[in-house]
């Protein structure tokens, strides 16, 4: 076996777990994909390395302990020694989970085991070519083989965006970077709308770190990228983020205030009586005249109930994004862009948590509502671009402990039918319910340090990744596993570093400067 891809021979043990002996000096890391060339059946099996352990040939009891003891003795006496013949006496046992086999260029699930002692090889391009079929149209990185990569670009299938996406990683493991790369792929595809809520102000220009780039630096940004913010950001398509009172619904308010049953009933009554003006009325009228007006419609409420409602409504006046002028609204404008396959960044970086939540809720709800309406009433639903709503720090609104009735939960439940997907980005998936997680059909799993986070993600992914806990724990920044209904197994991906990615694509886009068609909006 002269091939330098040769790394060992198969020694055991079942359809669900294979292991091979590998060289003492060989480096093989968890997560690597290796292949078994089975000449007898003409199949190439693919295996994923899930564990590496020590092996030695001595049949003497406790040999390794004895040798180590001997070494320590020599160490203490400052004597030099070596291990001779290491490749014969020492080796590695590599445990793998079988991914499947390739026969006639087709990938199949594993149902049998390769011939005993079959040679194990590092995969070659020719064998892995089949993965291109599963690469999807939204490319985010290269096939990762342990610590190396292979020149096979991989990503997710845009058609599954509306079946929701999860991006999970401990802070610093590459969520934001992946988000930017995925946003770029979506922009470039021109087929999907993308709405990003950015509480950290990092997606527009890369944030505070000087060498980081943002979406505005993308070659297509001038034509396909729009930003709504209150911050003073420089850019051609940056505009004010503004939510008119008339767009706010009770459901949005309940995201930030708790209401008693009586208060909630009063709100509903007011909503019915004043229509879209309800909130405006609530914070501009004084208590007495409001009570009176309601009284005239046979609606009587406790004075204290109404006082609380008015006080809370008036707090909204302090939100700089909320305006009384209904002639100007960001919301409709955002909807139009998304539905036509553009990318909109809603920058909530300098907003209070409550204001951010309100803004996020109002816009998200509006998106679902508009897609739903087109689905129900208009014939051109087919022409509508599917859209993805990306939510950073998603645990804040999707936490299992706060129930499952808000707009974000609704999108996860109903969005798929209306082409609206939710992108859930969080560093603490354990705070989300298993039910919610199981609705996220695609998951990018990056490094997760906490075992509970790993466990819940593992148990709710679309592929069996139950044996990959160690791998997920040891993923370095930017290394991901992608699970999705359209891939044959959890794909190991090295996500492009956004800054490198920009450099690479910029040359492609030099000539093609594109302007949005005016009549879209």
Partner 1 sequence: MQFQTGEHNYLRRSQAESTAAELGCLFSGTAPVPAMPKGEQSGSIPPLIDNLEDAPALKIIFPQKKYEILAIDGGSSVLAKGGNIEVIAWRAGCVSFDDINRVDEKCPPPEILAYNRLTVQDILSDYLADTDVTIVSQEQPIRLVDELRWLEEWKLLSRLIENSRPQSLILIDGSLHLNPLYNADSQHGLFKNAAEKKVYLAAVTKTSSLSIDRTTPIDIGIKNNTELNNSIWYKKINQKLKADSLWLGDIYLARLHSGADKQYRVDLNRFDEDNTDEIMGMIASVSDDVEFAGYPYPLAAAHRLARIDSIFKQDMLNSLKIALDNSDFSLELWQYLTRDIHDKLNADIMELTHNDQ
Ligand X SMILES: Nc1ncnc2c1ncn2[C@@H]1O[C@H](COP(=O)(O)OP(=O)(O)O)[C@@H](O)[C@H]1O
- Residues making contact with partner 1 (CB under 8 A): 1, 9, 21, 23, 67, 70-71, 73-74, 77, 79-88, 117
Look at residue 177 and give the partner it binds from partner 1, ligand X, Mg ion, none, a contact being a CB closer than 5 to 8 Å depending on partner kind.
ligand X
Considering the complex, state which of residue 309 and residue 481 has its C-beta at the smaller distance from ligand X: 481
To ligand X, the closest distance from the beta carbon of 304 in angstroms equals 45
Look at residue 87 and give the partner it binds from partner 1, Mg ion, ligand X, none, a contact being a CB closer than 5 to 8 Å depending on partner kind.
partner 1
To ligand X, the closest distance from the beta carbon of 328 in angstroms equals 33
Closest-by-Cβ residue to ligand X is 478
Considering the complex, state which of residue 265 and residue 450 has its C-beta at the smaller distance from Mg ion: 450
Helices 261-274 and 287-296, axial angle in degrees (round to 10): 70
Considering the complex, state which of residue 71 and residue 236 has its C-beta at the smaller distance from partner 1: 71
Considering the complex, state which of residue 83 and residue 504 has its C-beta at the smaller distance from partner 1: 83
Token pair for 104: 């006639």
Considering the complex, state which of residue 173 and residue 182 has its C-beta at the smaller distance from ligand X: 173
Tell me whether the omega of the peptide bond preceding residue 13 falls within 30 degrees of 0, making it cis: yes
For the purposes of burial, counting CB atoms within 10 Å of the CB of 79, is it exposed (0-12), middle (13-18) or buried (19 or more)?
A: exposed
Look at residue 117 and give the partner it binds from Mg ion, partner 1, ligand X, none, a contact being a CB closer than 5 to 8 Å depending on partner kind.
partner 1
Instruction: For 375, list phi and psi in degrees, rounded to 5.
Output: -65, -40
Q: Say if CB 96 and CB 19 are below 8 A apart.
A: yes
To partner 1, the closest distance from the beta carbon of 95 in angstroms equals 18
Considering the complex, state which of residue 82 and residue 515 has its C-beta at the smaller distance from partner 1: 82
To ligand X, the closest distance from the beta carbon of 231 in angstroms equals 19
Token pair for 406: 């808000």
Look at residue 174 and give the partner it binds from Mg ion, ligand X, partner 1, none, a contact being a CB closer than 5 to 8 Å depending on partner kind.
ligand X
Look at residue 172 and give the partner it binds from Mg ion, partner 1, ligand X, none, a contact being a CB closer than 5 to 8 Å depending on partner kind.
ligand X
One character per residue 158-187, x = contact with Mg ion (rule: CB under 5 A): -----------------xx-----------
To partner 1, the closest distance from the beta carbon of 39 in angstroms equals 16
3-class secondary structure, 84: coil
Please give the residue ranges that form the binding site for ligand X (CB under 6 A): 169, 171-177, 477-478, 495, 497
To partner 1, the closest distance from the beta carbon of 117 in angstroms equals 8
Q: Say if CB 443 and CB 432 are below 8 A apart.
A: no
CA dihedral 187, 193, 199, 205 (to 10 degrees): 20
Give how many residues touch Mg ion by CB under 5 A.
2
CA dihedral 482, 437, 399, 315 (to 10 degrees): 80
Angle at 398 between CA 228 and CA 206, to 5 degrees: 35
- In terms of phi and psi (left: phi > 0; alpha: psi -120 to 50; beta: otherwise), the region of 100 is left
How far is it, in rounded angstroms, from Cα 33 to Cα 35? Answer: 7
To Mg ion, the closest distance from the beta carbon of 200 in angstroms equals 7
To ligand X, the closest distance from the beta carbon of 429 in angstroms equals 13
Residue 280 CB neighbours (<10 A)? 17
Look at residue 495 and give the partner it binds from ligand X, Mg ion, partner 1, none, a contact being a CB closer than 5 to 8 Å depending on partner kind.
ligand X
Helix residue spans in 246-352 (DSSP H)? 250-253, 261-274, 278-284, 287-296, 303-317, 330-339
HSE-up of residue 273 (Cα within 13 Å, Cβ side): 21
Q: Say if CB 411 and CB 370 are below 8 A apart.
A: no
Look at residue 510 and give the partner it binds from Mg ion, partner 1, ligand X, none, a contact being a CB closer than 5 to 8 Å depending on partner kind.
none
Token pair for 521: 């909006």
Look at residue 477 and give the partner it binds from ligand X, partner 1, Mg ion, none, a contact being a CB closer than 5 to 8 Å depending on partner kind.
ligand X
Closest-by-Cβ residue to Mg ion is 176
Please give the helix or strand (H or E) that residue 268 lies within, else none. helix 261-274
To partner 1, the closest distance from the beta carbon of 27 in angstroms equals 16
Residue 507 CB neighbours (<10 A)? 9
How far is it, in rounded angstroms, from Cα 428 to Cα 439? Answer: 17
Query: Rule CB under 5 A: which residues touch Mg ion?
Result: 175-176
């Amino acid at each position: 076996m002269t091939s330098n891809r040769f790394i060992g021979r198969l020694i055991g043990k079942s359809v669900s777990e294979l292991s091979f002996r590998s060289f003492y000096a060989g480096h093989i890391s968890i997560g690597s994909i290796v292949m078994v060339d089975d000449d007898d059946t003409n199949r190439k099996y693919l295996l994923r390395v899930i564990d590496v352990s020590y092996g030695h040939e001595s049949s003497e009891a406790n040999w390794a302990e004895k040798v180590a003891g001997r070494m320590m003795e020599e160490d203490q006496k400052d004597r030099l020694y070596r291990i001779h013949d290491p490749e014969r006496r020492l080796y590695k046992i590599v445990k793998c989970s079988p991914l499947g086999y390739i026969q006639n260029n087709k990938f199949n699930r594993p149902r049998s085991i390769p011939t005993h002692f079959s040679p194990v090889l590092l995969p070659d391009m020719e064998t892995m070519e089949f993965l291109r079929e599963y690469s999807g149209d939204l490319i985010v990185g290269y096939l990762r083989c342990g610590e190396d990569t292979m020149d096979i670009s991989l990503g997710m299938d845009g058609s599954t965006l509306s079946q929701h996406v999860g991006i999970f990683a401990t802070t610093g493991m590459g969520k934001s970077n992946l988000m930017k790369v995925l946003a770029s792929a979506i922009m470039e595809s021109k087929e999907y709308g993308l709405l990003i809520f950015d509480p950290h102000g990092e997606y527009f220009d890369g944030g505070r770190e000087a060498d980081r780039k943002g979406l505005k630096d993308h070659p297509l940004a001038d034509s396909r990228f729009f930003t709504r913010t209150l911050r003073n950001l420089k850019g051609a398509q940056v505009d004010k983020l503004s939510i008119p009172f008339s767009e706010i619904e009770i459901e949005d308010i309940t995201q930030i205030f708790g209401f008693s049953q009586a208060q909630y009933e009063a709100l509903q009554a007011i909503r019915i009586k004043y229509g879209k003006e309800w909130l405006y009325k609530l914070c501009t009228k004084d208590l007495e005249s409001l009570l009176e007006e309601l009284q005239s419609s046979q609606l009587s409420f406790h004075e204290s109930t109404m006082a609380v409602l008015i006080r809370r409504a008036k707090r909204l006046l302090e939100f700089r994004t909320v305006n009384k002028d209904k002639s100007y609204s960001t919301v409709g404008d955002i909807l139009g862009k998304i539905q036509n396959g553009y990318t909109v960044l809603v920058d909530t970086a300098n907003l209070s948590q409550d204001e951010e939540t309100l803004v996020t809720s109002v816009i998200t709800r509006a998106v679902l509502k508009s897609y739903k309406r087109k689905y129900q009433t208009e014939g051109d639903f087919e022409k509508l671009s599917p859209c993805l709503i990306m939510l950073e720090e998603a645990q804040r609104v999707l936490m299992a402990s706060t129930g499952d009735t808000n707009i974000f939960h609704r999108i996860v439940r109903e969005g798929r039918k209306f082409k609206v997907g939710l992108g859930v980005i969080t560093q603490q998936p354990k705070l989300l319910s298993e039910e919610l997680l199981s609705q996220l059909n695609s998951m990018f799993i990056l490094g997760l340090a906490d075992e509970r986070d790993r466990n819940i993600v593992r148990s709710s992914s679309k592929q069996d990744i139950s044996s990959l806990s160690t791998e997920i724990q040891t993923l370095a920044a930017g290394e991901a596993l992608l699970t999705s209904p359209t891939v044959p197994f959890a794909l190991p991906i090295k996500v492009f570093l956004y800054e490198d990615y920009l450099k690479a694509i910029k040359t492609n886009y030099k000539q093609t400067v594109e302007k949005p068609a005016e009549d879209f909006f």
